[in-house]
């Protein structure tokens, strides 16, 4: 394995943080080391946000800052990932030739491949959702982290672009969620906050999560916003009972 260095700038929401940790996990497995200083890195990676105009501006500013560092250090690579790349990859490729690759939100699993052989053009609808086998890198002393149980949204709200950025609603099996939660706890994560897309969507994880407390422990996992795992499980149990009554 080779020893390369990568500098990450992760912007936006907690979902982006999880995606960034998965990208860094892939790189770490391939022999890359994270560094805090951009000018020490061979790979400059920025995970962008595009939900609001202000977030897009922040993302573009971050890209331009890293582009300056790349220009001062020939041979470095600059990779732009995330929602901005998902939404505007073709336009950005034309206006920012200094960027070596654009990684959409459905392409995180192919990060290493796309760094070496980037695909230029409009991104397809994202469908990727990491499972517990996907490598994940946690920063040292990351006592609080996030556990993504679902992604995307099927609601067609006129004011929201989440379905375009994140794709259709899709959920992870509860057993897979439990395995990742256990792995994160083993890495030192004391508190794990659950992340999903639309709370109004019928998410199988809501109904199947009744055994998480037994398998993980009530002090390990809670939800976003600050709702205890017990309250979450009580809600899931009541929903399961309601579903059973409706089936009779």
> What single string gives the DSSP state of each residue in the chain?
---EEEEEEE-SSHHHHHHHHHHHHHHHHTTEEE-S-GGG-SEEEEEE--SSHHHHHHHHHHHHHHHHHHHHSTT-EEEEEEHHHHHHHHHHHHH-TT--EEE-TT-GGGHHHHHHS---S----------TTS-----TT--EEEEE-EE------TT--HHHHH-S-EE--HHHHHHHHHHHHHTT--EEEEE-S-TTS--HHHHHGGGHHHHH-TTTEEETTTB-HHHHHHHHHHHHHHHHHHH-
pLDDT in tens, 159-171: 888 888 898 888 8
User: For the residues 101-109, what does the mean pLDDT come to?
Assistant: 93
User: For the residues 111-139, what does the mean pLDDT come to?
Assistant: 86
Return the top range by mean pLDDT from 50-54, 62-66, 140-144, 182-186.
Answer: 62-66
Given a cut of 80, is residue 223 above it in pLDDT?
Answer: no
pTM of the model: 0.81
Pairwise CA distance, residues 152 & 166, whole Å? 5
Given a cut of 70, is residue 227 above it in pLDDT?
Answer: no
Q: How far, CA to CA in Å, does 119 sit from each of 7, 49, 79, 87, 128?
A: 22, 20, 12, 15, 17
pLDDT tier for residue 237 given thresholds of 50, 70 and 90: low
The tokens of 2 are what? 């080779």
């Amino acid at each position: 394995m080779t020893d390369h260095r990568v500098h990450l700038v992760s912007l936006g929401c907690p979902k982006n943080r999880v995606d960034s940790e998965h990208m860094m996990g892939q790189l770490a497995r391939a022999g890359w080391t994270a560094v805090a200083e951009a000018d020490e890195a061979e790979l400059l990676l920025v995970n962008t946000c595009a939900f609001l105009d202000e977030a897009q501006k922040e993302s573009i500013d971050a890209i331009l800052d890293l582009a300056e560092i790349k220009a001062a250090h020939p041979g470095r690579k600059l990779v732009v990932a995330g929602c901005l790349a998902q939404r505007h990859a073709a336009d950005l490729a034309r206006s920012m030739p200094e960027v070596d690759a654009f990684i959409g939100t459905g392409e995180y699993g192919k990060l290493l491949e796309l760094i070496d052989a980037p695909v230029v053009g409009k991104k397809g609808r994202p469908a990727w959702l990491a499972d517990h086998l996907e490598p994940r890198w946690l920063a040292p002393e990351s006592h609080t982290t996030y556990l993504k149980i679902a992604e995307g949204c099927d609601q067609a709200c006129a004011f929201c672009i989440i379905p375009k950025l994140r794709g259709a609603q899709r959920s992870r099996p509860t057993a897979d969620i439990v395995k990742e939660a256990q792995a994160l706890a083993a890495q030192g994560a004391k508190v794990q906050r659950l992340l999903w897309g639309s709370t109004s969507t019928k998410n199988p994880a809501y109904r199947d999560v009744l055994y998480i407390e037994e398998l993980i422990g009530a002090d390990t996992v809670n939800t976003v916003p600050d709702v205890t795992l017990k309250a979450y499980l009580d809600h899931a149990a009541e929903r399961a009972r309601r579903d059973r009554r409706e089936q009779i």
